[in-house]
Amino acid sequence: MIGRMSQAPSTRFDSLPLAPATLENLQKLGYLEMTAIQAASLPAALLGKDVIAQAKTGSGKTAAFALTLLANLNARRFAVQALVLCPTRELAEQVATEVRRLARAEDNVKVVTLMGGVPLRGQAASLEHGAHIVVGTPGRVMDHLDRGNLKLDALSTLVLDEADRMLDMGFADDIAKVARQCPTQRQTLLFSATYPEGIAKLAAQFMRSPITVKVEAQH
């Protein structure tokens, strides 16, 4: 018998409480169906729940947290409302690119990257100019917090991306310091390819009754 399995309704982006402009933008980007980790995490994340999401590299984790932080964002409010911590400069750049693509549906969402190896001054100027979303590495983000260039009192979403790699690279203390400067009333999302013991510790420190979703590697 020839036939196609029809897709479960829950893999469609339009099953989510997303703005029509966001859905239209996703379609333009060629994002027709949610990936498995998106389908597993977005319904809870868009309800404002803290989520720990584990899935392998290339599974679409960026859009899962980007759509959530964008849903939480008020672009008319000129303050940093989302912070994404990434382990490396390259990853921070990739994440910022994806967040900007997904933010196109909204007017004038400003994404600023803060990572080492780039002069502090230009980054400070970008922050002063106004940022809604900051994507950066923990050390450099901490640096700007210490200097008073970055304020997190209006933050609504904190994302720890590639949390396992950040722990491997010794960023646990910096992450802790940054998290302590975020409002307690916030949504925290943690994404990781693996789930070592350190991740559970990190989650216990910074997250409120997190929901854990895991997508096993497909063969």
What whole-number distance in Å separates Cα of residue 149 and Cα of residue 136? 14
Contacted entry of ligand ADP, Mg ion, none for residue 41, CB cut-off 5 to 8 Å set by kind:
none
Where helices occur in 104-213 by DSSP H, the ranges are 120-129, 138-146, 163-168, 172-180, 197-206
Burial of residue 129 (CB within 10 Å: 0-12, 13-18, 19+) is exposed
Taking the least distance from each CB to ligand ADP, the nearer of 56 and 151 is 56
Assign 136 to helix, strand or coil.
Answer: strand
Binding site for ligand ADP (CB under 6 A): 30-31, 34-35, 38, 55, 57-63
Residue nearest to Mg ion according to CB distances in the complex = 61
Smallest gap from residue 171 Cβ to ligand ADP (A): 18
Query: Do 57 and 193 form a contact (C-beta atoms < 8 A)?
Result: yes
Smallest gap from residue 38 Cβ to ligand ADP (A): 6
Q: Mask of contacts with Mg ion, 56-75, x by CB under 5 A?
A: -----x--------------
Smallest gap from residue 18 Cβ to ligand ADP (A): 12
The torsion of the CA quartet 135, 139, 143, 146, rounded to 10 degrees, works out to 100
Smallest gap from residue 58 Cβ to ligand ADP (A): 5
